[in-house]
C-alpha cells in the first residue's frame, strides 16, 4: 500500500511563500540536503498543483524522474524535457493515478498550499514532514487553512544546520 506524504517547508509563522509567491527565503537552505535525498529515494510519484508546476518548470530544469501528477483544469502547453507529466482535475483522481504509478513506493504531495489542504481535507495524507525555517514572513500563502479537525501524532523531530527543524507527524 502506498503512503501519501506531504513533504514541505514553511516559515515559522506558517507560510509556504511570501508576498507575490516569493520563495527566496528558502535560498538559505538550498545547499544542504536536510534528508531530502533519503526521502526522495522512497518516492514513486509526485502530486503538485498547477502553480507549483509552473514555478518549477519555468525557473528550473525539471528535477524529478518519477511520474508527476499535476492538479489542473487547464492543459499544459509545454512539458519539461524528460518529465513524466499526467494531468488530473480532482484530488481523488490524482491520488488514484499516483497510487497506480508509484509501484508501492510513497506518493509525495509537494505543493502548493491549496493542493496540500485539499488532500488533508479529504483525509488522503498519511504523514506530514514539515520543515520549519526560522523566519517570520508576516504574509503570503499559508500552508494550513484548516477546514477540518485532524488529530496528528508527532513521530520524530530533527534539528539541522542553519536552525531548520523538521517535524514528522502521522495520523
pLDDT of residue 171: 87
Determine the structural domain holding residue 155 and report its residue range.
4-170
H and E: helices and strands count for the chain? 4, 10
Q: Is the predicted pLDDT of residue 147 greater than 90, yes or no?
A: no
How high is the pLDDT of residue 89? 96
pTM above 0.85, yes or no: yes
CATH assignment of the domain containing 161:
3.40.430.10
- pLDDT exceeds 80 at position 1: no
Buried b vs exposed e over 65-85: b needs ≥16 C-beta within 10 Å? ebbbbbbbeeeeeeebeebbb
Rounded to the nearest angstrom, the gap between the alpha carbon of residue 72 and the centroid of all alpha carbons in its chain is 16
Average pLDDT of the chain is: 94
How many distinct structural domains can be found in the chain? Answer: 1
Among residues 33, 70, 75, 44, the alpha carbon closest in space to that of 160 is found at 33
pLDDT one-digit tens code per residue, 18-74? 999 999 999 999 998 899 999 999 999 999 999 999 999 988 899 999 999 999 999
Amino acid at each position: 500500500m502506498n503512503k501519501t506524504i506531504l513533504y514541505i517547508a514553511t516559515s515559522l509563522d506558517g507560510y509556504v511563500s511570501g508576498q507575490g509567491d516569493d520563495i527566496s527565503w528558502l535560498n538559505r537552505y538550498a545547499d544542504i540536503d536536510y534528508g531530502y535525498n533519503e526521502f526522495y529515494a522512497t518516492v514513486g510519484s509526485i502530486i503538485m498543483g498547477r502553480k507549483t508546476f509552473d514555478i518549477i518548470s519555468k525557473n528550473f530544469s525539471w528535477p524529478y524522474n518519477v511520474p508527476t501528477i499535476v492538479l489542473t483544469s487547464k492543459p499544459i502547453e509545454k512539458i519539461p524535457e524528460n518529465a513524466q507529466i499526467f494531468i488530473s482535475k480532482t484530488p481523488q483522481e490524482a491520488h488514484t493515478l499516483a497510487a497506480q504509478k508509484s509501484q508501492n513506493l510513497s506518493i509525495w504531495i509537494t505543493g502548493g498550499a491549496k493542493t496540500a489542504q485539499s488532500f488533508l481535507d479529504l483525509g488522503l495524507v498519511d504523514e506530514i514532514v514539515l520543515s520549519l525555517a526560522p523566519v517570520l514572513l508576516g504574509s503570503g500563502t499559508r500552508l494550513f487553512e484548516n477546514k477540518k479537525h485532524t488529530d496528528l501524532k508527532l513521530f520524530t523531530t530533527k534539528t539541522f544546520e542553519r536552525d531548520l527543524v523538521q517535524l514528522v507527524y502521522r495520523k
